[in-house]
Amino acid sequence: MPETVTIIGATGIQGGSVLASLYDSPDKYRLRGVTRNIDSDRVKELRAQFPSVEWVSADNSDPESLCQAFKDTDIVFANTNYISPEILAQIDAGDLDAEFKQGKNIVDAAIAVGVKHIVYSSLESPSKGSNGKHANVYELEGKNKIEQYVRSQSDKIKGYFVYAGFYYQNLVVSATWTTTINSDGVEVPTVRFSFPLPEDAKVPHVDIERDLGNAVRLIVDNREEYEGKIVAAVGEVCTPGEITEAYTRITGVPAVYVNDKFPDFDRPEIYAMMDYFVEFGGYNVPNVVGGRDVSPRPFVTVDQFWKNHSDFRPPQ
């Protein structure tokens, strides 16, 4: 009989990737998507694309709704969203545990109704990884605190962890048009990518829409092997400059990269996160399994990503 996998945030980019990756095995997994509003346009789109998925409403701040959503569930996939308006408002009011509280609600609800397995999308602790130098990266610290809570409940629920790299999609979201002067002195339209990382910062990247799901699929298909372990969802370790160069190489369209802050999103803890990854690279924890190296489903490289998006141009 298929196991029921309940996916927190199934309308989002991570949950949606997990849903798509598991959907092609109905003999193994029966999927339940969890979101706040099951009548949203996004859910309607997903119902059409994945008709056998069951949809239920729940809120990470409402433990009872989570208990209802998790009934008769074998496996929960969960991620928490630090930059949601709800969590940011609580952070700004001084509650640095706002994300952790939502994660704890998820774990406690799963345990309360007898869920046996939870896969959590976590990240490392910059404070630990830098020996206290980068102590204010609240987004990562909250996720890691949730991971440690899952580990502390190992007698009640089996935990598995996936760490995602920076998204290739970040540059797609940031893209705009500009112009440059070519070798003939002619002004040409040029795609301008931007992100708050130095052009030469070599950090893990992933096609989040595809390979977060592939990493989770690797875990749930092989739970005995990955219990308590961290699987890295990384297609390639590369720089923003290399991603930009690959875009031009694949599409023939000139492109430039600019290390720039997010417009209208001035959060010092987010830039502190970037500083940590620039200095330490990422995944400064023991026993991380490279999902790309062991997955039967190949992970997406930078070149493959742009081949899959070869028609991408910023909106005019």
Smallest CA-to-CA distance from 141 within 53, 80, 77 is with 80
Q: Is the pLDDT of residue 127 over 90?
A: yes
State residue 262's pLDDT score.
92
Amino acid of residue 115: V
Question: What pLDDT digit, counting tens, does each position of 82-96 carry?
Answer: 999 999 999 999 999
Mean pLDDT (the chain) is: 96
Question: What pLDDT digit, counting tens, does each position of 272-286 carry?
Answer: 999 999 999 888 898
Average pLDDT over every residue of 32-57: 98
Confidence band (pLDDT; 50, 70, 90) for 316? confident
Evaluate whether residue 26 is within a structural domain.
Answer: yes
State residue 101's pLDDT score.
98
| 0.85 surpassed by pTM | yes
Evaluate whether residue 242 is within a structural domain.
Answer: no
Evaluate whether residue 191 is within a structural domain.
Answer: no
Q: Is the pLDDT of residue 149 over 90?
A: yes
Tokens 């990384």: give the residue.
Answer: 234
State residue 151's pLDDT score.
98
State residue 264's pLDDT score.
84
Evaluate whether residue 146 is within a structural domain.
Answer: yes
Evaluate whether residue 93 is within a structural domain.
Answer: yes
Q: How many domains does the chain have?
A: 1
State residue 183's pLDDT score.
85
Question: What pLDDT digit, counting tens, does each position of 238-276 carry?
Answer: 999 999 999 999 999 999 999 999 988 889 999 999 999
The DSSP-derived string for 150-194 is HHHTTTTSEEEEEEE-EETHHHHHH-EEEEEE-TTS-EEEEEEEE
Evaluate whether residue 153 is within a structural domain.
Answer: yes
Max Cα separation, the chain?
A: 69
Evaluate whether residue 309 is within a structural domain.
Answer: no
Encoding tokens for residue 313? 């141009």
Range of the domain at 44: 3-167+204-235+282-297
Q: What percentage of the chain exceeds 90 in pLDDT? A: 94
Evaluate whether residue 65 is within a structural domain.
Answer: yes
Check residue 80 and report its DSSP letter: -
Q: What percentage of the chain exceeds 70 in pLDDT? A: 100
- Cα–Cα–Cα angle for 134, 140, 143, rounded to 5 degrees: 145
Q: Domain with 69 in it: what CATH number?
A: 3.40.50.720
